[in-house]
Structures are given as structure tokens and as C-alpha cells.
Homo-oligomer: A and B are copies of this chain.
Amino acid sequence: MVNVTETTDAPRAPGRPRSIRADEAILEAALDLLADGSSIEALSIEAIATRAGVGKATIYRRWSGKEALLHDALRRLKPPPPPPPGRSVREDLIALVGNTGHNPDPRMRQIMPCLMPTISRSPEQYRLYQELVEPRRRMIREVLRRGIDLGELRADLDVELTLALLTAPLLMQRLLRAQPDLDERDLPARIVDAVIAGIVAR
């Protein structure tokens, strides 16, 4: 939990309160260290404090430990996607699928592959990963169910499987460039159209 009500004897600086600026510096320091190649295991409160230019006590006043701090740092890096435009099932899927593995912050691309070993080993980090991606998944499920209700998508649709088909290829490509020969232009729209129409000759 972030505590933004730190008391201080110094006069308050103009703009954002000092405590919020310190929080941001600490979260940014953790993200910078991960992007520089630190594993989660190797990441220490001490290293984060040094990078942020604060004392360790300042961090422990705000977070119970590394896991809580990392949760806030990753949430800062990966906020939930904006709600889809709501015009058509296809357009909404393209918007949400396009958000998968996409992040304007270049640190995301460096950090995510490094989280994978931890995600697969640590139940806490697995839960953290699930919390991070669940908002996007929930929105995609809602669009798929709307498509079923509207009669646009098959009534017997396997929603969870469709979610995997829509998101996994972009994750593998954007995080690992899994297929060097895959054309990445308009990839979200091409994925959505392929999943909607299927590949069978008609």
C-alpha cells in the first residue's frame, strides 16, 4: 500500500506533494533496475533506494516489502487499457488485442521477458502477473459475449480459448519476436480477422 501522507518538517515544495514525488522516484528506480537487466530475485530494496536517492527507511515507510513495491511499479508501467470504442465487435477486439504486449514505455519490452522465469516459479509473481493482465482479458471476454448475444459470433463459442487465440500471438511476437518472418504490420487487425473468419476454404 502506498502511504502518501508522510509527515515532513520541511516546507512543502510547489506542485505535487514531496511524498508523491518520492513515491514516483522509487517506483521509477525499480523499473529502471529491472529494465537494466536485474532479475526480480536480485532486485533489492537497497539497490532501489540508492537508485532513487532515498534512504531504505523511506521505502519501508511506504511499502511492506519488495513484492508490494513491485506490484505498484508494474501497475504504473502497465495501467489497464482504455475501454474499447464500443462501435463494433471487430473494432473493439482490434483495439483491445492491439493493447496486448504493447506499451509506449520501452522498459516494458525489456522487463516482461525477464519476469517470465519468476512468473513460472513464484506463486506470488504469478498472481501479480494475472492481476496485471486481467483487466484487458475481462474487457475482451465482454466484447466476445456481446458478439454472441448479438448473434455475430457462434453461440457455442469457447470464450477462454478465443481469448488465447487473440492475445497469445501478439504476446509471443512483441515480447520475444518469436517468428522473425511474421509481418507485423496491422497485426492486431489481421489476427482478429483471421480468428473471426477461420482459415477453411468456403
Contact = CB atoms under 8 A, between A and B. Distances in A.
A152 B201 CA distance: 5
B198 A196 contact: yes
A195 B153 contact: no
Interface stretch (A1-9, A67-75, A76-84, A158-166): A158-166
Binding site of A, secondary structure by majority: helix, strand, loop or mixed? helix
A191 to B, nearest CB: 7
A17 B183 CA distance: 48
A182 interface: yes
Nearest to A171: B172
Interface stretch (A22-30, A58-66, A116-124): A116-124
A165 to B, nearest CB: 6
Contacts of A144: 199
Interface string A102-145: 00000001100110110111000010011000000100000010
Interface of A: 37, 39, 109-110, 113-114, 116-117, 119-121, 126, 129-130, 137, 144, 151-155, 157-158, 160-165, 168-169, 171-173, 175-183, 187, 190-191, 194-202
